[in-house]
Amino acid sequence: MSSVAACATVGIAMAQGVLAASFFISGQKFQVTADSLTARGFSLYGMVDVTKKHELVPVVVSGFRDATVRGLCQSILVDIPVLGTQTLRLTGGDDRPAEASNLFIDATAESANGANFSGLDVGVAQGAMTKGPVEPKDRDSRFFAPDGVGQQALSTTLTDLRVSAVAVSAGTFSVPGLRLRLERGSHPCP
């Protein structure tokens, strides 16, 4: 079966509800950094991701309805037989910002040098969040707690963002000046 046919088959199955629109995570952590991330519609809630081996990974999900990202970097260590450890680095959004819609970052750690929020609600029930997005597959998950504590805001700007993530997904993601590089050794994002 060609890859196009396979994708079409999966897409039809998802549309018909035969398959869930989700994925198993690898469980390997990777680093995402950004000089700044500005978003309209922000949410933050707890979740559990599942690896293909059915291991449970607790995460904090940051959701951004419409986001612009400047100085994007993503790095992950890859062990290649015979060649050893390599770093796969993806960068972009330097001259013009990257733009994303319905961006979700499943993180195990997250920090920002500065965080500004407008219309902030802390302690809102996860099932009642409306200002920021909640991943549809999360709402249907047995690990989603509708009465669990969440955070939301009309908008946010995060500067010098540093994230240790296990998954990133987006409805759309446009990255001007995209560069992908594989380098020998460990070269994490700055």
pLDDT digits (tens, 9 = 90+) for 121-148: 999 999 999 999 999 999 999 999 999 9
Say which residue the tokens 């993180």 belong to: 107
Single pTM value for the model: 0.85
Instruction: Concatenate the DSSP letters of all residues of 55-69 into one string.
Output: -EEEEEEEEEEEEEE
Task: For residue 24, name the pLDDT band (cuts at 50, 70, 90).
Answer: confident
Strand blocks (E) in 129-171: 149-169
Least confident stretch, 12-16, 31-35, 61-65, 131-135: 12-16
What is residue 22's predicted lDDT score, i.e. its pLDDT?
Answer: 52
Give burial (CB, 10 Å; 0-12/13-18/19+) of 83.
exposed
Distance CA 174, CA 183 (A): 24
